[in-house]
Homo-oligomer: A and B are copies of this chain.
Amino acid sequence: MSRKAREAEIYEAAARVFRRKGYHAARIQDVADELGLHKGSLYYYISTKEDLLRGLVEGPMQRMVAATREILATRHAPAQKLTRVIEMHLRHFQESKDFFGIFLREDLDFLDANAETDLRGLVRTYDALWDEVLQEGIAAGVFDAEMEVPIVRKAIIGMCNGTYTWFRADGPYPIQEIARQFAAFALDGLRPRDAARAAATTPSDLSSSSTA
């Protein structure tokens, strides 16, 4: 096994352990156990426990920002863009579950303090992109012009991030179904679907595939 591959193994193991126990509660020994190594051996690959965490943090957030930019660049209707952004968020969330588990639970600001990583900046960028989606909808007259965009954005993202607490890949709902329901919920609220559909000016085209 190459050095790179071994390093990747270690980082993945660390991600799992950090998510399960939390960064501070997790011991280097736990990471070693996960790999069947002795803890001293890890230091052949890493320098400190903090660097291990830092290594995990880079990547997932950047990918989400990039994916959001792509969606924004399309010519879809606002409601559809929103649906796709929600889906995208949930999908990345699930794919980098370990990372987000850490990201949501730990206070990672101390990482920004003494290194080149700028997590907070990335989050700000991501938020701004969401706001753009909502603003487009308002400008197009299909979203409530009276809404407070930051609150609504936080409401939707909070809704998505909440999946961390309860979503299980082997649970009753596949991630697509959750995305579908979340999008429908965001766009139409709880009002009976028929009435909502009748009144809605911008139906989502994503619900056609699975009508559950």
Q: Which residues in A have some Cβ–Cβ distance to B below 8 Å?
A: 20-22, 24-25, 79, 82, 104-107, 134, 137, 141-148, 151-152, 154-163, 165-166, 173, 177-178, 181-182, 185-193, 195-196, 198-201, 212
13 contacts between A and B (CB under 8 A): A22-B22, A24-B24, A82-B190, A142-B191, A142-B192, A148-B181, A148-B212, A157-B162, A158-B159, A159-B159, A191-B196, A191-B199, A191-B200
Is A151's CB under 8 angstroms from B173's CB?
yes
Distance of A36 from chain B, by nearest CB (Å):
24
Given A107-B22, A158-B163, A162-B159, A152 contacting B190 (CB threshold 8 A)? yes
Given A159-B156, A162-B154, A144 contacting B192 (CB threshold 8 A)? yes
Is B151's CB under 8 angstroms from A162's CB?
no
Distance of A106 from chain B, by nearest CB (Å):
7
Is A162's CB under 8 angstroms from B161's CB?
yes
Is A21's CB under 8 angstroms from B107's CB?
yes
The interface residues of chain B lying within 8 Å CB-to-CB of A154 are 162-163, 165-166
Given A151-B173, A161-B162, A186 contacting B191 (CB threshold 8 A)? no
Interface centre among A159, A161, A162, A165, by most chain B C-beta atoms within 10 angstroms, is A159
Is B199's CB under 8 angstroms from A147's CB?
no
The interface residues of chain B lying within 8 Å CB-to-CB of A24 are 22, 24-25
- Among B20, B144, B155, point to the contact of A191 (Cβ < 8 A): B144
The interface residues of chain B lying within 8 Å CB-to-CB of A212 are 146, 148
Given A154-B163, A155-B159, A196-B144, A191 contacting B187 (CB threshold 8 A)? yes
A186 vs B137: C-alpha distance when bound (angstroms)? 18
Is B161's CB under 8 angstroms from A22's CB?
no
A139 vs B212: C-alpha distance when bound (angstroms)? 20
A146 vs B145: C-alpha distance when bound (angstroms)? 28
Distance of A7 from chain B, by nearest CB (Å):
26
